[in-house]
Every structure is written in C-alpha cells, then in structure tokens.
Amino acid sequence: MYAYDELDRTIVNERVSEFRDQVARRLSGELTEDEFKSLRLMNGVYLQLHAYMLRIAIPYGTLSSKQLRALAHVARKYDRGYGHFTTRQNIQYNWIKLAELPDALADLAKVGIHGMQTSGNCIRNVTSDQWAGVAPGEVEDPRIWAEILRQYSTLHPEFSFLPRKFKFAITASDHDRAAIKVHDIGLRIHRNAAGESGFEVLVGGGLGRTPFIAKTINEFVSHRDILSYVEAILRVYNQYGRRDNIYKARIKILVHELGIEKFKQEVEEEWVQMRDGALALDAAEVEDIRSRFFYPKYEKLSDTPDELKKALQNPNFEAWYKNSVAAHKAPGYGIVTLSLKPVGGPPGDATAEQMDEIADLAEKYSFGEIRVGHEQNLALPHVARRDLPALWRALDKIGVATPNVNLVTDIIACPGLDYCSLANARSIPIAQEITRRFANHDTANLIGRLHVNISGCINACGHHHVGHIGILGVEKNGEEFYQITIGGRADENAVLGHLVGPAVPFDQVADVIEDIVEAYLALRQRPDELFVDAVKRLGVEPFKERVYATR
Amino acid sequence: MPLVKGNTVVADDYVHLADDAELPADGAVLITAERFLADPEAALSRKDKTGVIWPNNRDVDDLLPHLDRLAAVALVFPVFRDGRAYTQARLLRERFKFRGELRAIGQVLRDQFVFMLRAGFDAFEVKKQSDADAFANVAKRYSVFYQPTGDGRITAFHRRLMHLPEGVRS
Ligand code: HEM
Ligand code: SF4
C-alpha cells in the first residue's frame, strides 16, 4: 500500500474544491453543458443514458479496507447501492445526481480517492498487475513505478490536453496480467545482462476501432531515465498526433503512420535534449517513494497447514481453492481472487454490502489490502493459507466465491446498451446467458482457461479483440447482431482475434459460443491444450465450419 | 478581449495587426508567423515592440534565430482541448530560454490558467470577462505540484526529500 501524505491529500482536496466551483457554475447556468463537458470529463463524470456517471480511479488496482468502505459508502449514499468495477482499475457509479457529485468526491477525498484523469484526453489512471508486490518471481514491485508515474502524470501542465486519451500499464512479471501490449505505453520491468532492472518500453497498442498490438520502442530504459523517456514520447505525440479526426488521434495511429523506426528517431532526438534535466530520477527519490509503500510483516507459516488439509476434503472448498488461490512470494500465504462473476449476474458489479464485507475480511485476513484486476474481479493479496477455509466460508456467504476465475464464465463485459449511450447492442444479458449455459462447474473446469470478452460497440471497452473468444455488438437494420472472434489474447503473447464469420443475432450468440467450445473439446490434442493454443494451431476454419454448418 | 498580466487585468498595449495592414513605424504589434517569416528584419528593426503570433502546428525551432529580438510570442489555443501550445511554451521557455512575453490567445478559459502558468505563459488574452476577473483566485487554487517544469516551483518530490514544511510556496 502507498500511504498518501499531506501533499498528496492537498492536491486531491484542491481538485474537489475546483470541481465544486465548476459544478456550481454549471448549476447556475454560468457554464453551458458544452463548456462544462470537458471539465467534468477531467473528473471522471460522463453524461450517460440514464444519468451522470462517475468514474473513480483505483491507481494500479490497490485499495485499503478504508478506501473500499468509502466506495461502498458512495454507492449507498449517492447511488443505488452498487458500483461497477471496470477493465481499467476504475469503479463506475451510474446514478449520481450532478448536485451531489462534489459531496461524493469530497467523501472519497478523505481516503485519498478521486476521479482525476479517469476520462478526457489526458494521461489516464496508471494500471498495473493486480498481483504486484506479491507474485512469486517478480523483478520488483511495479507499483513503485506506477506511483511515480501517477504523480508525474497527475494534472500534468503539458499533457492534460493531448490529442486523445493516453493509457499506461506496467508489469514486472514474466506473465503479463496488466495487458501492457494493448496500451498506449506499456512498461515491462526486466533485468538486463548486467542484472540491473529497467524498462522495456512499448508504444502504440490499443483496441477500439483500429486495434494494434504495441511495438517495442526501446528494449531497456534505466530507472533514472524512465520519466524523461516517457515525456519525450508524450511530447512528440502532443505535437504531431492527429487532431483532425478523433478516430485517428490515438498515438497508435501516429506510430503506425510514421513506422516505429521513424517514431523512435523522433522520440530519441527529443530525449537527448532533456534526459539530463529535472526529470532524471536519482536513487533517493525512488527510495522515498518506495519507503511510502507499506508491506505486511509476514509470519513464518506452513504451506500445508492442518486447517487447509482438512478443508480440502470438502469438494466445494477444493474446487474453489484450486481455482481461486494462487501462489504467493511468501511461504504460507496465498493470493485469493474474489469472483465478481456469479452465474446470471452482470460482470464486475459489487453491492455496497459486499464491498463493506470484503473490506472487513481484508482487515481480518489480508492486512487490510484489496486489489482490483482488469478482469473485473477483486483479490485479497496476502492471505495466510491456514485462514483459507474460514475466508472461503465468509466469501461464499456474500456471493463472491464462485470458483470460475479464468474459466468460461469469468466474462469481461462492458455495460453496453443497458447503461452506455454509445452502445449498439447489449452486453450484460449476453454475459448472463453464457454464464447460465456453462453454469456447471465440472463442464467449465473441463474446458479450462477460456476468456470471453464482450463489448457493446466498436470502442472495445470489454477488450473483445483480445478475448480468447471476443463478442462485439453491432447494429444491423435496427437489430442487435454480434461479431465473434477467436484466438485473441492480452497477455505477454498478445494477439488480436480473428473473425469466425458473419455476425449472428442476439438470441444465437450463446449457441454459437457453445458450438465453438464443443469444437474445441473435440479438436484439442490434450486436455491441457488451452483453447487459444488450439486456435493458434488449427486456425479459424474448423471452428467456422462447426458454427456455420447448421446456420 | 481582456488581457491578464501579473495576476490582474491590464490594458493591452499590443495591436493584433491584420496581414494586409501596413506595418506601423511605432506602437507595439503582434503579427502573424507568415508575415514575420517573410521579412523578419522589417519586423524586428522597428523601434517599438514586435511580437509574433505562432500557430500551434509549426515547429518553434523556426523562431530560434529571432528569439532574442522578439518582445512577445503569442501561442494559439484554437479550441480549449487543443493542447499543442503547452509543449511550444515549455520549449520556448525551458529549452530556448525565451524571456519575452509569452501570451496565450484563442480559447483561453479559467480552467487552463494553472496549466498555462506552469508551462511558462505570463500573459493571457482571456475569452470571458468573468474568467479574467477570477484569474488571481484561480491561479492560486493549487498549492502542491508534482512535476518539475520551468516555472521553478518546488515539486512534491523535492519537498519531501528536503523535508520542507507543508504549505511552503515557492
Ligand atoms: C458507460 C460509459 C462508457 C463510455 C461512454 C465509454 C467510452 C469509450 C470510448 C469512446 C472508447 C474508445 C476510445 C478510443 O479508443 O478511441 C472506449 C474505450 C475503452 N473503454 Fe470505455 N466507455 C465506457 C465504459 C467503460 C467501461 C465500463 C469499461 C470497462 C469495463 C471501459 C473501458 C474501456 C477500455 C478498456 C477501452 C479500450 C481502449 C483501448 O484500449 O484503445 N469503458 N470507451
Ligand atoms: S464498448 Fe461501447 S457500448 Fe461498451 S461501454 Fe464502451 S462505448 Fe459503451
């Protein structure tokens, strides 16, 4: 956990007072909706189908129990008792009244939470691996760097009016849980031949209308130079990124149009002029940020305590344990993922009661810390393995122990037509229907790891391009249709999925998914050949045949 | 259009000169980049102040040979959300050490003042009178800053390392 000090808190409070003034000017009519728009967006406020929507940042996905309780409080007091965790380590509220927004933000500010830079054409909330700091084998805790970037980018005087939004993601593990290759800048912390840790910098990834996998611009940028290096990229982008067409304004288009070689040359020409300036980081600065992170004092515990051995005789516990508990860097501890994907529920939603309860359980079992991942699930990062049975019972009671993490029912979905004014089609009901079809845990388990991602329009908020199975809502003659892609992935081997065939109507989507899964079960070489690997080996054809043979 | 300089609304001694108007012998003028670049000597050899209105899609490097003789550079915000001029401002101030007046023109609204001040602007042609009147208050809305820029303010990073007391303003 990073502990905000008086300086961090001052900025958040000053932001709230600025926004209070802006809302007052809007309510008095001094600002028109049009003028207010870019100001509210800079604080995460959208105007949606039903009401204003508030998006709150959860930087690098780390929350304290106190912060989670504050999120629950806002859900209860200003909204309808729930919040929606998104794919960008944010939470969204859909029903807050404009006049109450400043109060909601002021309540969150007390615990160091805000809506700054969750929207608008600025550097957005910096995201990271939800297992950062606890995953075994990590080079170092990437959140130190996410925090340095958070501070660097917050209210940046040069980069708050970029051509388009700008997203950073950072990881320090071999296995990429932060989807860095589909971000504007992806950072991978690794060691060079001399054993020194530094950054592989990737640029120009992104989804939406024109999806791209990011390209490496520099294999190794040192700790000292990382801020100046990203500033050079941002500066080139701010000057030369297209502003004539919002669909071509993202940095991925600039990188694509110039080519990575030419783009790199521009960046490095800029960089040589500033790398020794005020942004060069010295070890003391990094150490100071590092020292503000609090790490639990782990006990020396057994990996196989009696409590756990005994509980494993219960098949329900065993199923959950196998699915939801991951190895931890400290012996005797585990990382527990809490599924926000109950059968038949909207992916990513949590009620105020659930949030409060999870905050309490985190205090009791996880040193008061909670994580939010881009898969729209939560995690408790430091649970003693002897406590797992008790924790499981408590999680089960509040409905967040569905043992489906990474299985076919662990669906990522955007809000789609149910909430979003840009949508062409519904997403949530599709997700709900698929979870019902695969509700049987044994079936889902037999299928193994399979990521289904759903977006209600081309903007790709549900990351459909990089779903093992991607579902994209499109509109045809006023009706909802869905294009289906397979073979995408968002990890260290990220690729975009391939279209299976013509779009299908709403009521056939779940059938088609079932067909694809059945084809996979028939075609896989071994039970442990993952769906995506089978698609990679076989191509789209056999799946296409299966789906369209009878349609 | 009200002009703010030194935290207050002041009278503007510059005239925006149309491209087809004759260059006057005296009086401060702001002229367009095309006109300026067509004959920099004519503009710079006047005995009064000359400033140039520099578009936001042109490299400020082209101004380098003339900077020490220009009294003012006006950078353009065609719309609120087009932020190219922030980069130009920082380059002019921090890299090229321009010490003349750096003026923000176009869609200049109160919600950008803090960013503009930090990027190095010191004169503001403000769109709305109410925003111009609010300038001094808005400019001190934030007391803590994370990023180092050429405005010389001490960043949060450095305050922490130097153990400066809270609320110290640079
Ligand atoms: C309901 C309100 C929402 C609106 C109006 C909205 C709007 C948009 C738009 C316009 C884009 C395309 C931008 C571009 O790439 O040029 C986009 C992309 C995206 N949004 Fe949303 N969104 C909403 C909700 C969400 C939610 C709930 C999530 C997460 C579940 C999300 C996550 C994302 C992500 C990950 C992208 C992909 C951008 C990329 O990688 O290029 N958004 N959104
Ligand atoms: S993908 Fe489209 S429908 Fe879904 S939330 Fe994003 S903008 Fe809305």
| Token reading at B62 | 């082209």
Please state, rounded to an integer, the average pLDDT across all residues of chain A: 96
Contacts of B122 in chain A (CB under 8 A): none
Mean pLDDT of B63-85: 96
**Complex confidence, ipTM:** 0.94
Closest CA to B85 of B33, B159, B40: B33
Beta strands in A387-546 (DSSP E): 412-413, 452-455, 469-476, 479-486, 498-499, 504-505
| Token reading at A242 | 């297209």
Of the pLDDT bands very low, low, confident and very high (cuts 50, 70, 90), residue B163 is low
Q: Given CA atoms A241, A244, A247, A253 in this order, what sign does their dihedral have? A: negative
Residue, of A2 and A221, whose pLDDT is higher? A221
Q: Strand pairing of A52-57 and A45-47?
A: antiparallel
Nearest-CA residue for ligand 2 atom 2 is A457
What whole-number distance in Å separates Cα of residue A354 and Cα of residue B160? 37
Whether A329 and chain B come into contact, CB under 8 Å, resolves to no
Dihedrals phi, psi of A402, to nearest 5 degrees: -60, 125
Dihedrals phi, psi of A306, to nearest 5 degrees: -60, -40
| Token reading at A434 | 């698929």
What is the share, in percent, of chain A residues with pLDDT greater than 90? Answer: 93
Contact A10 B166 (CB under 8 A): yes
pLDDT, tens only, A336-350: 999 999 999 999 999
Residue, of A490 and A550, whose pLDDT is higher? A490
What whole-number distance in Å separates Cα of residue A150 and Cα of residue A121? 16
Q: Is A252 in the pocket of ligand 1 (CB under 6 A)?
A: no
**The CATH classification of domain A306-398, taken from the options 3.90.480.20, 2.30.42.10, 3.90.380.10, 3.90.1150.10:** 3.90.480.20
pLDDT, tens only, B106-124: 999 999 999 999 999 999 9
Contact A157 B119 (CB under 8 A): yes
Nearest ligand atom owner, CA of A211:
1
What is the chain A residue with the closest CA to B117? A157
Contact A239 B156 (CB under 8 A): no
| Token reading at B22 | 């004759």
Query: Distance, CA A283 to ligand 1 centroid (Å)?
Result: 37
What is the CB-side half-sphere exposure of residue B24 using CA atoms within 13 A?
A: 13
What is the share, in percent, of chain A residues with pLDDT greater than 70? Answer: 100
The domain segmentation of chain A, as residue ranges, is 6-110, 153-292, 306-398, 412-550
Mean pLDDT of B121-147: 96
Q: What is the pLDDT of residue B164?
A: 54
A306-398 and A153-292 share a CATH fold: no
Domain B3-142 fold is TIM Barrel (3.20.20)
Measured from CB, residues less than 6 Å from any atom of ligand 2 are: A 414-416, 420, 422-423, 455-457, 459-462
Q: What is the pLDDT of residue B158?
A: 86
| Token reading at A46 | 């959208």
Task: Check whether A550 has a pLDDT greater than 90.
Answer: no
End-to-end distance of chain A based on CA atoms, in angstroms?
Answer: 53
Closest CA to B88 of A264, A157, A230: A157
Q: Which CATH superfamily is domain A412-550 in?
A: Sulfite Reductase Hemoprotein, domain 1 (3.30.413.10)
pLDDT, tens only, B38-63: 999 999 999 999 999 999 999 999 99
Cross-sheet strand order for the sheet of A62-64: A62-64, A369-372, A378-384, A333-338, A325-327
Distances in Å between the Cα of B123 and the Cα atoms of A194, A474, B119 are 50, 49, 12
Task: Check whether B157 has a pLDDT greater than 90.
Answer: no
Distance of CA A334 to the CA centre of its chain: 21
Beta strands in B49-157 (DSSP E): 50-54, 72-77, 101-106, 123-125
CB A470 within 8 A of CB A486: yes
**The CATH classification of domain A153-292, taken from the options 3.40.50.620, 3.30.413.10, 3.20.20.450, 3.40.50.720:** 3.30.413.10
Q: In this structure, how many other beta carbons lie within 10 angstroms of the beta carbon of residue A355? A: 28
pLDDT, tens only, A34-87: 888 888 988 899 888 778 899 999 999 999 999 999 999 999 999 999 999 998
Mean pLDDT of A390-399: 98
Q: What is the pLDDT of residue A24?
A: 95
**The CATH classification of domain A6-110, taken from the options 3.40.630.10, 3.40.50.720, 3.40.190.10, 3.90.480.20:** 3.90.480.20
Q: What is the pLDDT of residue A510?
A: 97
Mutate to test the interface with A, among B81, B108, B154, B155 (most CBs of A within 10 A): B81
Contact A158 B87 (CB under 8 A): yes
Q: What is the pLDDT of residue B170?
A: 37
Nearest-CA residue for ligand 2 atom 5 is A414
Task: Check whether B165 has a pLDDT greater than 60.
Answer: no
CB A435 within 8 A of CB A409: yes
- Whole-structure pTM value: 0.95
CB A464 within 8 A of CB A472: yes
What whole-number distance in Å separates Cα of residue A381 and Cα of residue A133? 9
Specify the DSSP element, H or E, that contains B4: strand B3-5
Q: What is the pLDDT of residue A537?
A: 98
Q: What is the pLDDT of residue A218?
A: 98
Q: What is the pLDDT of residue A177?
A: 97
Specify the DSSP element, H or E, that contains A223: none
What whole-number distance in Å separates Cα of residue A133 and Cα of residue A293? 10
Mean pLDDT of A100-125: 95
Contact A17 B141 (CB under 8 A): yes
Mean pLDDT of A113-140: 96
The domain segmentation of chain B, as residue ranges, is 3-142
Of the pLDDT bands very low, low, confident and very high (cuts 50, 70, 90), residue A3 is confident
